[in-house]
Amino acid sequence: MSKIYVVTEGCYSDYCIRGVFDDEGLALHFVAAFGNHADIEEWELNPHKKEMKKGYSPWFVRMAKDGTVIDTRVEDSPYGFGDGPDDPNFDVDQNLFVHVFARDREHAIKITNERRTVLIATERWPSTNQEATK
């Protein structure tokens, strides 16, 4: 994946982009040459290009341990889309939630269910208070 380096300055209503570079060294040189009050933000170029070319959309899915689907919706992720079985996310009720790219709702649920089964099989699903008292 290609990266770009965006030189920014200020915050809130004073925030502005001072320059965009495809080389981190050039961005650093720009900051040094034109003032050290700027920041360099690293951004991925053409994020999710492969998924978008397939016509996928970003989905959020929340699922209970028993496979019950609690919530699904098309939603961008502020956390990225790398939350697979190696990096599970659970809410306060120990329900799995994921952000995935999928063709449609059913595909998003299928991907989430596959992650759910791996987490259960590897005993990585957290215990609920209800299970702990049984």
pLDDT digits (tens, 9 = 90+) for 90-110: 999 999 999 999 999 999 999
Do residues 30 and 17 make contact, with C-beta atoms less than 8 angstroms apart? no
> Within a 10 A sphere around the Cβ of 85, how many other Cβ atoms?
15
Residue among 37, 44, 32 nearest 5 (CA): 44
Given a cut of 60, whether residue 58 has pLDDT beyond it is yes
The whole domain housing 71 covers: 50-129
Percent of the chain with pLDDT over 70: 90
Do 60 and 102 sit in the same domain of this protein?
yes
Given a cut of 50, whether residue 132 has pLDDT beyond it is no
Tell me which amino acid residue 89 is: N
> Within a 10 A sphere around the Cβ of 84, how many other Cβ atoms?
14
Give the Cα-Cα-Cα angle 115, 2, 49 (nearest 5 degrees): 50
Asked whether the whole model's pTM tops 0.75, one would answer: no
pLDDT at 47: 84
Q: Which residue has the higher pLDDT, 49 or 63?
A: 63
Given a cut of 60, whether residue 130 has pLDDT beyond it is no
Do 87 and 125 sit in the same domain of this protein?
yes
Q: What is the mean pLDDT of the chain?
A: 88
Given a cut of 50, whether residue 36 has pLDDT beyond it is yes
Do 73 and 26 sit in the same domain of this protein?
no
Q: Which helix (H) or strand (E) holds 21?
A: strand 16-21
Do 65 and 92 sit in the same domain of this protein?
yes
Do 57 and 72 sit in the same domain of this protein?
yes
62 occurs within a structural domain:
yes
Residue appearing with tokens 């939630």: 97
Helix, strand, coil fractions of the chain, as percent rounded to 5: 30, 30, 40
Do 95 and 57 sit in the same domain of this protein?
yes
What 8-state DSSP symbol labels residue 86?
T
Percent of the chain with pLDDT over 90: 72
Pairwise CA distance, residues 7 & 28, whole Å: 9
Given a cut of 50, whether residue 122 has pLDDT beyond it is yes
Given a cut of 90, whether residue 34 has pLDDT beyond it is no
Give the Cα-Cα-Cα angle 99, 105, 110 (nearest 5 degrees): 75
